[in-house]
Chains A and B, each alone.
Chain A
């Protein structure tokens, strides 16, 4: 006999709806390009590009409102694979990839691909290790999975508390990047105010619909991200290489760039490897000193591998990614969605080196070392927008030669200006960065809210809580987490890329070994997982703190996960081996996770609990 593999999509006109959204957004950009030629001011273009897309996201967020628990926490398990893939993609990337990684590639050269490769490898590891199993379990959250797997409320509660710090760090980083990108479109409003407004916009998008609202706003935001980063790089690729496939054709530009770097003395730090936290850090405007194409010139091979591993393990166990695996209708659908996600994430990550190479090519060719009087109009424009500084102090003041210094997280915005494309495309790239930041920040809020409502309040405080009460707790949690995250984002001196890398290291140390062993090792038990998670968390935070303080062990703070994950795994393995073997019920649970067919284990536990036969819920 065969099982039913067909399922109803949430809305039969979903494809048409997003096609209309995409068309409307493209029409908006084209209309602004035309109006720009007719004399529309750049201030107005900036305001429209900042506010119109956010208005669309808010509209989607309101339309996706719900009062149903299943819809609010797992989007009704009706998200088709492509759309779930879009959400998984933007969770993995965020504005950290769009802005900070592009900037890191510009400043540290190809060595920054350790982060890009880690991001894609994280999605791949998620697909291979956890995708089908998490969907088969069907828990609302990562702590919910642990609670169900080990029949332990204490473990579920602890996991919920441990996931809050990394989620807050990522939220703060994304809110900060949203404020930065918006400040170039709305310069009069102040970066701190815009960061707070970005946090408020994120709350507004997800507070009514929870995971459901997040899903559909994220799909729209991912479309904007891909259009926004894709359009300028394809146009510039056409201009420089005559082909619209920048990923394959920028080899010629890299060759030219390498010669320019030597000719204009932009390689003064070549071969001077430093820890990744220094190589990729951002402290205001900085000069370009690393060759773009030279491998292991800014960080060494060991740090490259460790950083890629930390990003990979953290990305694979990120709580919102795990929660998102429960939102598809079937196990097969979650596999397809992860296939879409790895393809889309990979496509964007492969585009970023081309994007950075084009920016550096233009900067090296048109700005670096040029006499101040010969700086082209786009350079003056970028300077007036606050994207870069051009001074005559550094190279040869007598000749008036200039030095260009760039902001790492704003460097991606330079390409449309350098390519002499219409100003509307500058607005488009900024809108894409804002979209990515709002999407990733919203994901963290939903992750925290779901954990606090389901795994803390409903799990420990009030088992009789009504659905309305559970949604209220989740909505209050969204507001509370946003306030804390926005406060952290407003603190000066925190580098968004470092915040995200620290968060991924904490997740890699706290959750990856616990999750992998809980899914793939029958012998482990709840106590071992609890102590392993705590040990991994303490090790990760400790290494980060010591790394920042120049501590004694010489491990860089952004590779803390490389220490914390083995510590956590060791604790879990030793404690599991020393304990009694698990009972038959636990073994059967692990086996059932690996069988794709049948009802979800959460649904089965609910059914049995209703008959008073299962303590697992």
Chain B
């Protein structure tokens, strides 16, 4: 399938914004983890201090979720522009 210029621009624009949003999310997560962890340390969750839980597990779960959210949306964009993968 050959995309016209307008479709190419639209696909690149939407994929670019999706990438920026996902990357910003993981950067924010890594950069602000100590703040979250310190602030939430007094609270408890599953017998863990919440700050401990965020550093040991919460960050990782959010990172996994972010990649799955990114992949789902990127696939959606590809489907919309009828480009599911390399032929």
**Chain A residues in contact with chain B, CB under 8 A?**
1-5, 110, 113, 116-118, 120-121, 123-125, 127-129, 132, 135-136, 247-249, 251-252, 254-255, 293, 295-296, 301, 304-305, 308-309, 312, 329-333, 335-336, 338-339, 342-343, 346, 349-350, 353, 520, 591, 594-600
- Please determine whether B55 and A346 come into contact, CB atoms closer than 8 angstroms: no
A293-B52, A305-B34 known; A3 vs B85 contact (CB < 8 Å) = yes
Complex Cα gap A330–B49 (Å): 43
A to B CB contacts below 8 Å, 9 in the list? A1-B1, A121-B29, A127-B71, A135-B86, A305-B31, A332-B85, A339-B67, A353-B56, A594-B11
Check A346–B61 contact: CB distance below 8 A.
yes
B85 touches A120 (CB 8 A): no
Q: Which of B15, B41, B51, B59 contacts A117 (CB 8 A)?
A: B59
CA distance A128 to B68 in the complex (A): 10
Q: Which residues from B are CB-within-8-Å of A129?
A: 19, 23
For A597, list chain B residues within 8 Å (CB).
1, 3, 78, 81-87
Q: Is the CB of B60 within 8 A of A595?
A: no
Whether the Cβ atoms of A595 and B11 lie closer than 8 Å is yes
> Distance (Å) between the CB of A328 and the closest chain B CB?
9
Are A295 and B82 neighbours in the complex by a CB distance under 8 Å? Answer: no
Task: Pick from A125, A309, A339: contact of B71, CB below 8 A.
Answer: A339
Contact of A1 with B82 in the complex, beta carbons under 8 Å = yes
B81 → chain A, closest Cβ, in Å?
A: 8
Residue of B22, B33, B86 touching A598 (CB-CB under 8 A)? B86
Cα of A335 to Cα of B78 in the assembled complex, Å:
12
Interchain nearest-CB distance for A135 vs B (Å): 8
Nearest CB of chain B from residue A258's CB, rounded to whole Å: 9
A592 to B51, CA, bound (A): 43
Q: Are B64 and A335 in contact (CB under 8 A)?
A: no
* Measured CA separation A248–B47 after assembly (Å): 9
Contacts of A335 in B (CB 8 A): 71, 74-75
- B55 touching A332 by the CB < 8 A rule? no
- Assess whether A296 is in contact with B75, with CB atoms less than 8 Å apart: no
A233 CB to nearest chain B CB (Å)? 14
How would residues 17 to 60 of chain B score, 1 for a CB under 8 Å from any chain A CB and 0 otherwise?
00100110010011101110110010000111101110111011
Sample of 20 more A-B contacts, CB < 8 Å, known A117-B59, A595-B8? A3-B1, A3-B83, A113-B59, A117-B30, A117-B63, A120-B60, A120-B64, A121-B63, A123-B67, A127-B67, A128-B26, A252-B47, A295-B41, A295-B52, A301-B35, A301-B38, A331-B78, A339-B68, A353-B56, A599-B87
Q: Which residues of B contact A600 (CB under 8 A)?
A: 86
